[in-house]
């Protein structure tokens, strides 16, 4: 996808690494969290956030017949939370992600465009339209 491609559906920021703060002094964590709060509130005031939440460390992964334990919080790739942004371009969403105060401490931010419809459903509709043509 072209980074400047426009979307009307916004972008999702997924915050990866629930352990970025391990080994830090409580005062340093508090400072970073204050920076995080300021960053978040600034985005809210600009009307760029439509939803956001931290996630608990425990959960289940459902695949096949039964759920299994996981995701595992000790994983560097576990998702600790998300922001749903009202952004038009990937460039804009990436610029916001780059402002995350926990990036220097090992957090990663995944930026994903929100699709207007399920890609599988879109494929079915396109196949139907092609068959009728």
Query: What is the pTM assigned to this prediction?
Result: 0.79
| Spatial CA neighbour of 47 closest among 92, 94, 85, 88 | 85
Q: Which residues pair with 84 in a beta bridge?
A: 12, 51
- Across the chain, which has 133 residues, the per-10-residue mean pLDDT values are 67 90 93 96 97 87 71 64 96 97 93 88 82 82
Distance CA 8, CA 94 (A): 16
* Domains in the chain with CATH codes: 11-132 (3.30.70.1060)
What is the model's pLDDT at position 72? 53
Helix segments in 1-133, DSSP class H = 26-45, 90-97, 119-132
Distance CA 50, CA 33 (A): 21
Pair of tokens at residue 20: 């970025």
């Amino acid at each position: 996808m072209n980074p400047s491609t426009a979307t009307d559906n916004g972008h999702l920021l997924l915050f990866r690494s629930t352990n970025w703060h391990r080994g830090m002094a409580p005062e340093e964590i508090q400072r970073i969290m204050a920076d995080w709060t300021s960053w978040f509130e600034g985005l809210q005031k600009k009307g760029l956030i439509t939803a956001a939440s931290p996630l608990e460390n425990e959960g289940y992964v459902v695949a096949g017949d039964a759920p299994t334990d996981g995701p595992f919080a000790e994983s560097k790739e576990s998702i600790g939370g998300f922001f749903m942004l009202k952004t038009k371009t990937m460039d804009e969403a990436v610029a916001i992600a780059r402002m995350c105060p926990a990036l220097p401490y090992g957090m990663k931010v995944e930026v994903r465009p929100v699709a207007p419809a399920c890609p599988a459903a879109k494929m079915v509709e396109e196949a139907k339209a092609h068959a009728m043509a």
